[in-house]
Chains A and B, each alone.
Chain A
Amino acid sequence: MIPDYYEFCNSTKIVSGTRALEHIGYELAALGASRPLVLTNTQLLELKVATLVLDALADTEAEVVGVYEEVPVDSSASVVDDVARAYRERGADAIVAVGGGSVLDTAKGATIVLSHGGTLMEHRGAESLLGRRAVAFIAIPTTAGTGSEVTSAAVIKDTERHVKMGFTSLSLLPDVAILDPRLTVGLPPRLTASTAMDALTHAVEAVSCVQANPLSDCYAKAAIGLIRDHLPAVLDDPRSPAGRLALANAALMAGAAFSNAMVGIVHAMGHAAGGVAGIPHGDAMAVLLPHGMAYNIDAVGDRYGELLLDLAGADVYASTPADERAAASIATVRAMLDMLHTAAGLSVTLGQLGVLPEQIPDIARAALDDGAMSMNPKQPSLEELVEILKGAL
């Protein structure tokens, strides 16, 4: 069904495939940039992943004016302001962000500060950043999960209040996203599984949230199919370039989907759990996805029913009665989580991730205040959130 009104935007150029990184010089030149600041973290430099990008940049006319490698696991407002300072001091004219969600979202935050002045905290809001971005921006993901390389959203931690703040603006969309399988072939199994579940959650929530639209549905369903087909194979053969590229594309498609349809209760709880208990985002998504779906089923069971085709394949979909497909979709997600627990050691409860029972009320409260909750098809009460979280503990 076509919504009464919807918007869709994905302006990022996608450069995906074998040795795609080697086109970075061309892409920078196409953007009119020649002095990139590379943003990454020390771990990616030690693992020689970020080095692949630096090597590719070395063979171009661009001059790398600096490598900012101090991005922490959870990007924070203060780090964003520091990156913006480094950008100005070194006379950069582009940001090349190499990393997972925290690096890419830090870069997005820096582009806000560089384009609009002040500090990041002065620019909180949704759809409120007007005007063009003043910084050329290339995003190079080194995990296949966040999809941040094509999203208009950034999640950045307010370290004083222990909450993750969401920023949404079309000006956050990178100019170029580069997917090169060399960047993800070395991911360990657990991180592969965790990030894939993050991407799966983006896709499932994109389909069920109130901003879902025909175009976001296409991206979301394609992403789910790719994860279903390639995640088990990649865990069996982690160095398969084709499998890694498929998962990278799945994450990207799920990102494009949720960037235009938003996410809901699972992300609201996950952001809150990350802020309060410090648990990794992908791990939180994996644990919370079936619980969020179970809560939403009476509001969007028909949509979950449709997803059985993508989650489990045509044979299962055809052999499942229509009124049982929504529950079967949730069961399929639970089975996938169990498989990933066995194959990659993924946690299946919040307790296993270190969340304490006494933290549940604070997580529930923060989830209620998370912007993602506003796009969920059902609005839970504080008491309902506490019950959902206890069920996941």
Chain B
Amino acid sequence: MAGGGWRTKRGRKAVAAVVFAVLGRGLVAAARLDERVRAEAGAWPEGTVITLGIGPFGPQVSWRAGGGMLEYLGGAEVEPTLAVTFKSVDGALPLLLGMKSVLGAFAEHRAMVTGDLALAMSFVRCLHIVEGYLFPDLMTRRILPRPAERRAGHLVAYGALVHRRARLEGASS
């Protein structure tokens, strides 16, 4: 592990960066597999860029919805329409590792939102669906507001992580 392992802040940021990469492709994979994600992201305004990150100086992941597609942008520097930024890596990791719910992290003031809160709510609903594909039921029972409903199995979802783009429903192109 980079910089002295899990116990150092640098190490924890490295872990977060890996999870962001998986989550980033996970949202695209979920959009390919699940019509609920396609419908949510398809309703986002054309050109919407969403960034999930850790501030300051932490890793981040971004997506762009436009042209009828949802695209994984990785950790590229972007001008986000909506930014969900964790205040510290220690506040982010429990969520990223499936130990705490997204809404639980918000309840504990672990993150701030810059942008339209209605869009943030839609994004959170997408994250819930993605978590349903990435994590086993043992974890999702604790972190999701309702039992995970999957349109495909975990293995299929993991297989779909290779894609960087997914076609959306209802999006203007």
Chain A residues within an 8 Å CB radius of B116? 124, 165
Alpha-carbon distance between A44 and B172 when the two chains are bound, in angstroms: 46
Contacts known (A6-B108, A126-B112, A126-B113); A370 close to B103, Cβ less than 8 A: no
| Complex CA–CA separation, A369 to B107 (angstroms) | 17
Collect the chain A residues with CB atoms within 8 Å of residue B111's CB.
127
Query: Smallest distance from the beta carbon of B46 to chain A beta carbons, Å?
Result: 16
Binds B, one of A98-106, A321-329, A373-381: A373-381
| Alpha-carbon separation in the docked complex, A381 to B36 (Å) | 12
**Quick check: A211 and B112 within 8 Å, CB to CB?**
no
Contact check: which of A4, A7, A379 meets B103 at CB < 8 Å? A379
A125 engages B104 (CB within 8 Å): no
> Contact mask B119-136 → A, CB, 8 Å, 1/0?
011101000000000000
| Total CB contacts across the A-B interface at under 8 A | 66
Residues of B within 8 A of A5 (CB): 108-109
Contact B117 A378, beta carbon cutoff 8 Å: no
Interface size (B, Cβ < 8 Å)? 22
Q: Check if A359 is an interface residue, CB within 8 A of chain B.
A: no
- A125's contact among B108, B115, B124, B146, by CB below 8 Å, is which? B115
Q: How far, in angstroms, from A262 to B118 measured CA to CA in the complex?
A: 16
* Residues 371-393 of A contacting B (Cβ, < 8 Å): 371, 373-375, 378-379, 381
Q: Is the CB of B108 within 8 A of A165?
A: no
Closest chain A residue, CB of each to CB of B107: A210
**Residue B153 lies at the interface, judged by CB distance under 8 Å to chain A:** no
- Cα separation A299 to B154 with both chains bound (whole Å): 29
Q: Which of A107-125 contact B (CB under 8 A)?
A: 124-125
CB of A128 within 8 Å of the partner chain: yes
Is A178 positioned at the interface, with any CB of B under 8 Å from its CB? no
A375 touches B107 (CB 8 A): yes
> Is A379's CB under 8 angstroms from B115's CB?
no
Tell me which of B83, B112, B122 has the highest count of chain A C-beta atoms within 10 A of its own C-beta: B112
Complex Cα spacing A6 to B117, Å: 22
- Is B145 part of the contact surface with A, judged by Cβ < 8 Å? yes
Within 8 A of B (CB), among A340-375: 366, 368-371, 373-375
- Kindly state whether residue B8 has any CB partner on chain A within 8 Å: no
Pairwise interchain contact A165-B117, C-beta atoms closer than 8 A: yes
Contact with A along B94-116 (1 / 0, CB 8 A): 00000000011011110111111
Contact A128/B114 with A7-B109, A371-B120, A378-B145 known, Cβ cut-off 8 Å: yes
Contacting pair A210 B117 (CB below 8 A): no
Instruction: Please determine whether A127 and B113 come into contact, CB atoms closer than 8 angstroms.
Output: yes
Does A374 contact B106, Cβ atoms closer than 8 Å? Answer: yes
Nearest chain A CB to B51's CB is how many angstroms away? 13
Taking a contact as CB atoms closer than 8 A, the residue among A4, A125, A375, A379 that contacts B113 in the complex is A125
Q: Which residues of B contact A368 (CB under 8 A)?
A: 121
**B103 and A369 within 8 A (CB):** no
Answer whether A124 and B117 are a contact pair too, CB < 8 Å, given A374-B124, A378-B145, A379-B145.
yes
Q: Is the CB of A128 within 8 A of B145?
A: no
Interface of B with A (CB < 8 Å)?
Answer: 83, 85, 103-104, 106-109, 111-118, 120-122, 124, 145-146
Nearest first, the 9 A-B pairs at minimum CB distance are A379-B145, A369-B118, A371-B117, A127-B112, A210-B107, A128-B114, A125-B114, A126-B113, A5-B108
CB<8 Å pairs between A and B, sample of 27: A4-B108, A5-B108, A5-B109, A125-B114, A125-B115, A126-B106, A126-B112, A126-B117, A127-B109, A127-B111, A165-B116, A165-B117, A210-B103, A366-B118, A368-B121, A369-B121, A369-B122, A370-B117, A371-B117, A371-B118, A374-B106, A374-B121, A374-B124, A375-B103, A375-B107, A378-B145, A379-B146
Which A residues are closer than 8 A to B by beta carbons? 3-7, 124-128, 163, 165-166, 210-211, 262, 366, 368-371, 373-375, 378-379, 381
